Amino acid sequence: MQQQFEAVSMTGGHGTNSYANNSLLQRDGANLVKTMIEEAVAEKLEIDTFPSVGTFNITDLGCSVGPNTFLAVQTIVKALEHKCASLGLSSCMPEFQVFFSDHSSNDFNTLFASLPPNRPYFATGVPGSFYGRLFPKASLHFAYSSYALHWLSKVPKEVLDRNSPAWNKGRVICLGGPREVFEAFSRHFGRDVEAFLSARAQEMVSGGIMGLIILGRDDKVAEAKSPIGVIGGVLGSVLMDMAAKGTIEEAKVDSFNLPIFTPTAKEYQKLVESNGYFSIEKLELVRDDSDRSSDVAIDPKMLAMHGRAATEDMVRKHFGHEVVDEVYQRGEKKIMENSHLFKNANVLLPSLFVILKRKADPQIA
């Protein structure tokens, strides 16, 4: 039995269950690294060496529907304006073109309808997977992506194969179960990162910068106890409870996996180095167990709503719309029972903050 989805989409629109209304934790993460983005533009971006700075091209890859993407883009454009002014380019300030990019199934209508008025940039939508080419060669100056690159291009086929040692029976996440499952996801993630970086290497100008926030994993925390391991465990056990009650088929649970892999800093560093097109200017885990800088208060309902906005589309396509409400009501209850595991946003979303710079390559740039 195959999963009934390929492209992952967040819940669109502006309703109660929408991603736009349930993405505060991601927004908080982007806010925490705002200063680091500003520093990367100020210190690492050599605008004056670019062949033409008439138009500065920026993209947000996996932008979803906002408002997070608009805030991120605003930070980047302001930092660029500041940089140009500091280089004395004020009288011939480049124009800014922003490409909002996501799967074609993303709710681009809502995104376009909520674009900030009086924005200091031209806005364009670019549909398609960031695991392939999206832009012409050497056309991008700054690529940003937040909380999107942990989504794999698809679920590795071994974990859906009941004859494979990597079969992920009765579980929906790759953390805390058989080693073979983790390894299948890890290998697939490695291939996806290679595809992502190779596509961007073609598209970015030499010296162009990527600022990435990726849901990550702290190598000091046991995989099953990592926040995504715990949340995935909750969803898996809710689905198994519903299978035991006969509301859904157990075989359907066995064939459902969240296509998510959360790398450690070391794992990601190795992949970037083996790709070879980008220098690593910064790569660190933020919002880890020791970080208490966020004051976002988590409650079980909020957590269940965030989980719902990110996974409802997949759950509906695989199990049918009639079970969706029950899945997330049960999820909220289970989170409440385990609320000691979810103290604040930092514990919840350990994130890799990565700044990469496109190396000079005479064949491409």
Ligand X SMILES: C[S@@+](CC[C@H](N)C(=O)[O-])C[C@H]1O[C@@H](n2cnc3c(N)ncnc32)[C@H](O)[C@@H]1O
List residues binding ligand X (CB under 6 A): 8-10, 23, 26, 30, 62-64, 68-69, 102-103, 106, 129-131, 146-148, 151, 153, 310
Decide whether 31 or 164 has the Cβ nearer to ligand X: 31
Tell me whether residue 53 or residue 352 sits nearer to ligand X (CB atom): 352
Quote the least distance from Cβ 267 to ligand X, whole Å.
Answer: 19
- Complex with ligand X: residue 271 or 310, whichever CB lies closer: 310
Separation CA 227–CA 223 (nearest Å): 9
Ranges of H-type helices in 276-363: 300-319, 324-337, 345-348
In single-letter form, the type of residue at position 334 comes to K
Nearest residue to ligand X by CB is 62
Q: Of 125 and 178, which CB lies nearer to ligand X in the complex structure? A: 125
18 or 106: CB nearest ligand X: 106
Closest distance to ligand X from the beta carbon of 261 (Å)? 12
The answer for residues whose C-beta is within 8 angstroms of residue 337's C-beta and 6 or more apart is none
The least CB distance from residue 279 to ligand X, in Å, is 24
Q: How far is the CB of 276 from ligand X (least distance, A)?
A: 22
Q: By C-beta, is 100 or 319 nearer to ligand X?
A: 100
User: Which whole-number Å values give the CA distances from 27 to 150, 157, 191, 345, in the listed order?
Assistant: 16, 33, 28, 11
Under the phi-then-psi rule, with left for phi > 0, alpha for psi from -120 to 50, and beta for the rest, what region is 131? alpha
What letter represents residue 91's amino acid? S
Minimum CB separation from ligand X for residue 107, in Å?
Answer: 9
Q: Which two tokens stand for residue 364?
A: 């491409």
Structure-block tokens of residue 108 = 């681009």
**SS3 call for 194:** helix
Minimal distance in Å, beta carbon 86 to ligand X? 28
